Each structure stands twice: as C-alpha cells, then as structure tokens.
Amino acid sequence: MQKLLERLIYLIASFLAVTVVLTLHEFSHAAVAYKCGDPTPKMNGRVTLNPMAHFDLLGLVMFTFAGFGWAKPVPINPYNFRSYRRGLTLTAVAGVAMNYLTAFLWCPLYLLALRGTGIEGLDYFLGLFTLFLYTYSLSFCVFNLIPLPPLDGWRVVEAVDRRQGSIYRFLQRYGNIILLVLIGYHFLVSVLSSSGYYEVSTILGYADVLGWIMNYVTQWIGWPIMKLWGLVF
C-alpha cells in the first residue's frame, strides 16, 4: 500500500511539473511570435497560460513517464514578422530560453524542499515536484535544441539556412521520422533497464543517441545553475 501511494504521488508530481514546463515553453513561443508581428498564435488561442491550449496527449504521456516529450506546436506565419529572420529566430529560441530561465528559478526551490517541513508525505511530494520542475525544464530545453522538425532547433535552422541544400531537404522530409525512431529506441532502452534487463539495455545503450544527448548535455548546461545556487545553500 505504501509503495502504491508513493507511486501515485510520483505520477501526480510528474504530471503537474510537466504541465507547468510545457505551458511556459509554448506560451513563450506564442507571446514572442505575437510581439514580432504575427497574429497567428493569438488567433489560435495560444497566447495563454491555460495548459489545455498547449497539450499534445502523446507528448504529455511521454513526458510524464519518460521524462521528455513535446507539446502542440504553436502555429506561426513567419511572413507576418516585421523581420523574417529575426522574428523566426527569436520565436524559435523563446521556448528553450524560458526553460533555462525557469530551471534557474526552480533550482533553489528544490534545494529548499530538501530541507523538509517535517511532514513526511508533504516533503516527499515537494521534493519530487520541485526536482521535476528543475530537471524537466532542462531536459525540455535540451530536447528542443535538437535540429530536427518539428523541434525548436529546426526553426533556428530554417531561420539561418537560406540555401536549403540536399541535407536540409532530407531532414525536412524525414526529420520527424528520425526523431520518432530516436525516441522509440531510447524508450525501449529505458523500459529494458527499468525491467531488470541490465545487460541488454547496456549493450543497446551504446547506440542510444538521444539518451547520450539528454544525459550529458543536460548535465553540462545544468552544472552552472547547481554550482551557483550551491554557493547560496
């Protein structure tokens, strides 16, 4: 019964953290695009902090259970921007910038939660919730920097690559399939590892490109945040 309750608290904390992280990410895209002159996000009801406007069901489930996922892309028309390249670039980086900024803000809350309140159940929830806010913000930041459609990294490529050569056209056509394969492979490795098939998951893990990116890049960009707040706490 105790383990079941802990698992329930874990899932609730994860879901709530995902809700916050995804909402802030997509809201920042919509708000920046609107400020740059494109009314499309406003017309589609995306300049809002209402989570329901941004959820993609599969991406939400993946984020809750796997630690990374996606939201419903914000529709934009870059030809409405006052400056095409500037507007597209700012809109693309707005989400990851928001995630990194909020990771910086969630970190001290997590460190404070570790001190506890003396109420066991509350301490467990707050510890998980603030940890998820921090780690999910970083992982979503890193995940969206991958230059494959429909992620933010691809929008940056679109903004700066005017030649649009053969590699660009290949990724534009097959990038989403490549991304799904990377996600599926990483999810398979994670399931095998959590199910106790450590030898198989270790062998397959060498080819887990997404896992390598998520683990090492997330640690790298999170190091300055932890280092700075570690001086305070």
Q: Across all residues in the chain, what is the average pLDDT?
A: 89
Tokens linked to 13: 């904390």
Distance separating alpha carbons of residues 130 and 107, to the nearest angstrom: 8
CB 42 within 8 Å of CB 34: yes
pLDDT tens digits for range 50-72: 998 998 877 777 666 665 667 88
**Which residue numbers are catalytic?**
26
Distance separating alpha carbons of residues 191 and 196, to the nearest angstrom: 9
pLDDT tens digits for range 171-212: 889 998 998 899 889 888 888 887 888 888 889 889 999 889
Residue with tokens 């990771």: 103
Angle at alpha carbon of residue 205, lines to 224 and 21, rounded to 5° = 45
CB 25 within 8 Å of CB 71: yes
DSSP state, residue 147: S
Tokens linked to 225: 């945040």
CB 222 within 8 Å of CB 214: no
Higher-pLDDT residue of 143 and 71 is: 143
